[in-house]
Amino acid sequence: MIDLLTLKNYKTFKRLALGQFSRFTLLGGMNDVGKTSILTAIYIYTARLQPAMANLAAMRSQNSPTWAETYFHGFSPSAEKQIEIGVVRSGVSGRVEIQYDPAVQVGALLDNGLQNRLPENHPPSMLDPSRVAAEFGLMSGEQNLPALRMRWFEGDEQKSDIYWMLPPAKPGMYVKYSLPGIPAPSALLFPFMRELPDAAARSLSELVKVGAAAEITSHVKMLFPHIQDLTPVLTEPGKGTVLADVGLPKPVPISELGEGAKEALNLMLTIPRIRGGVLLCDELGAGIHASILPRFVQSIAAIAGKYDCQIIATTHSYELLSAAYEAFAQDGMNHGDLTYIRLDRTSSATVLPTVFNYEKLGIALSNDWEVR
Amino acid sequence: MALPQAIKQQKLLLAEGKDELHFLDQLLKTINIPDVQIIDIGGKDKFRPSLPTITALSGFRSVVRLGIIRDAETDAAGTLASVQQSLKENGLTAPQHSGVVLANAMPQIGIWIMPDNRRAGCIEDLCWDGISEADPRRGCAEMFMGCLGERLEKKAGPPGCSATAYYFPKQAAKAKLHAYLAGLYEPQRELGRAAQADVWDLRLSAFAGLRNFLIELFQ
């Protein structure tokens, strides 16, 4: 579980220290204060070589040659300015250092770079220098091209050294080397997705195989009583969808049932996939009706507890805060598992966190005081 | 739907309840200080647990002057000590005495213990002091309390006893003031609303101490 996050020169944060994360942590604050940036920072630290790491680039305009600048405080990357993302996770400290290198010698990377110490689940394309070169558009090994150099450390031991090539190269990761570290599974979810991700169908399929799907289905049915059953359908390797039995002559894709059901199911199916990890969620519950929000929070908190998963989510919603408090007030829920952290910008360079534990949040909500 | 209450003013006054809130609002109007936000803590027992939350509310960092109004109940010194302790626990500098403003602090802080920083009592005692000796209803309310004293057990009722049990009112000052308010030509049920309806002339000397305290703190 993540206990502490420190940031330096990362996006809106010149410096930030954020502690007191709990099993279920909500982040609030005004627009542009940096809530989502905290999620992406944790994701960068935890995702490492996960293929989904590439989503970080996709979150920005992929066609923009300046997307990498947005990660540096003040939108001004330089060789001297280093981003540091520090994390204390279950008592173990680690960090990612990100540097902008305006002229990486690609030839030297290709000659000396890839080694055979990659994690087993590493995407094969990264192992082959020629494929890397072709894939990233590095046609000439003599070119000096801009890149972000990202280095991961656990304690003082360097675990990974990765170059994220920037335009004019085709953006992508070039792995110089990577050693296995403490597993840090994570997922970063955004609201209002068009389709249920393939990963959700794969996750449900896995749960069906091990006889653990019924619990997820029961949580979904409690929230959406018209859904009677869920069936994963894998159409081709890695692809798939989830069909919902809603009492019609034939089941319908869950994506057709509306945002709430899709979001809830995606969350519930992501948690088992990242057992022992951290689920990072932007605008949690954005598509869920207020009347079922407490039940929704209770369900995902219960599933997170079962799979030893930490949830860190952003919100602007007073209703979600109330729902979270109500959910954690129920028998069997641990009050200490709920934390709300509001971020306040006190100057262009300073953002201060204010932590509300369960009791503090309850007093604010019972008096109808503004805490967002 | 009404928005949750946010701290929007740099001058903040914490009051024990709705009566205090409405009374203080009227008193601030009387002395022409319009830019003070009053927050109702919700009861005398809520001050200590609520203060950490209030100091965490968005907007509290901008507060430059903070007033705290509490009832003395049975012990003015004890109530002051309790408020001082709560302030310290939340990283705020507490004034040594009530009724004075700690100017060299951020925020500047003042504490007022009702009715007058010395006596035991509550806001109802202050308001009782503000009723003219010439008002005939004053005597009526006193006679009513005397009558209750003759007909009801003077001692405190056992813990948990019914609100209708035959014991003398445990909050005699409140009972007496409400007897007075009930006797008005247009009866008032709440002290704060009565203040807003100009039942009291808040320019009278009975309110001078509190008036001056608020002026020193907020003007």
Contact A372 B58 (CB under 8 A): yes
Chain A residues lying within 8 Å of B54, measured CB to CB: 369
User: Is the CB of residue B5 less than 8 Å from the CB of residue B36?
Assistant: no
Q: Please give the Cα distance from B130 to A192 (Å, whole number).
A: 62
Question: Is the pLDDT at A120 greater than 50, yes or no?
Answer: no
* DSSP SS3 for A195: coil
Q: What's residue A196's pLDDT?
A: 80
- Give the pLDDT band of residue A356 (cuts 50, 70, 90): very high
**Secondary structure, 3-state, A249-290:** CCCEEHHHHCHHHHHHHHHHHHHHHCCCCEEEECCCCCCCCH
Kindly state the helix (H) or strand (E) to which residue A241 belongs, with its residue range.
strand A239-245
Please state the ipTM of this predicted complex.
0.85
Which of A54 and B184 is assigned the larger pLDDT?
Answer: B184
Which of A32 and A66 is assigned the larger pLDDT?
Answer: A32
Of A91, A95, A96, A85, which is closest to residue A3 (Cα–Cα)?
A: A91
Question: Is the pLDDT at A136 greater than 60, yes or no?
Answer: no
Please give the interface size between A and B, counted as residue pairs whose CB atoms are below 8 Å apart.
53
User: Is the CB of residue A356 less than 8 Å from the CB of residue A324?
Assistant: no
Contact A369 B4 (CB under 8 A): yes
Q: What's residue B159's pLDDT?
A: 87
Question: Is the pLDDT at A116 greater than 70, yes or no?
Answer: no
Chain A residues lying within 8 Å of B50, measured CB to CB: 363, 367
The average confidence (pLDDT) of chain B is 95
Question: Is the pLDDT at A53 greater than 70, yes or no?
Answer: no
Chain A residues lying within 8 Å of B56, measured CB to CB: 342, 354-356, 360, 364, 371
Domain ranges of chain B: 11-121+204-218, 123-196
Contact A370 B4 (CB under 8 A): yes
Domain ranges of chain A: 49-178, 187-366
Identify from B58, B63, B89 which residue to disrupt to test chain A contact, counting A C-beta atoms within 10 A and taking the largest count: B58
Residues 284-323, chain A, touching B (beta carbon < 8 A): 318
Identify from A322, A363, A372 which residue to disrupt to test chain B contact, counting B C-beta atoms within 10 A and taking the largest count: A363
- Give the pLDDT band of residue A125 (cuts 50, 70, 90): very low
Question: Is the pLDDT at A11 greater than 80, yes or no?
Answer: yes
Cis peptide before A124 (omega within 30 of 0): no
Q: Strand A239-245 to strand A252-253: parallel, antiparallel, or no bridges (unpaired)?
A: antiparallel
Contact B4 A342 (CB under 8 A): no
Percent of chain A with pLDDT over 70: 84
Beta bridge partners of A219: none
**Predicted confidence (pLDDT) per residue in A153-194, tens digit:** 999 899 888 887 777 766 666 777 777 778 788 999 988 777
Q: Tokens 């049932």 sit at which residue?
A: A257
Residues 78-137, chain A, touching B (beta carbon < 8 A): none
Out of A352, A369, A372, the one facing B53 most closely (by C-beta) is A369
| A187-366 to CATH, choices 2.60.40, 3.30.1360, 3.40.50, 3.40.390 | 3.40.50
Identify from A370, A371, A372 which residue to disrupt to test chain B contact, counting B C-beta atoms within 10 A and taking the largest count: A370
Q: Is A363 on the interface with B (CB under 8 A)?
A: yes
- Give the pLDDT band of residue B85 (cuts 50, 70, 90): very high
Give B167's DSSP letter. B
Contact A369 B3 (CB under 8 A): no
Scanning every residue of chain A, which has its alpha carbon at the shortest distance from the alpha carbon of B55? Answer: A354
Which of A230 and A135 is assigned the larger pLDDT?
Answer: A230
CA B13 and chain centroid, separation: 11
Out of A346, A364, A366, the one facing B57 most closely (by C-beta) is A364
Chain A residues lying within 8 Å of B3, measured CB to CB: 370
Of B200, B216, B219, which is closest to residue B27 (Cα–Cα)?
A: B200
Domain B11-121+204-218 has CATH 3.40.50: yes
How far are the Cα atoms of A355, B75, B80, B112, B210 from residue B120, in angstroms, in the given order? 37, 5, 12, 13, 16
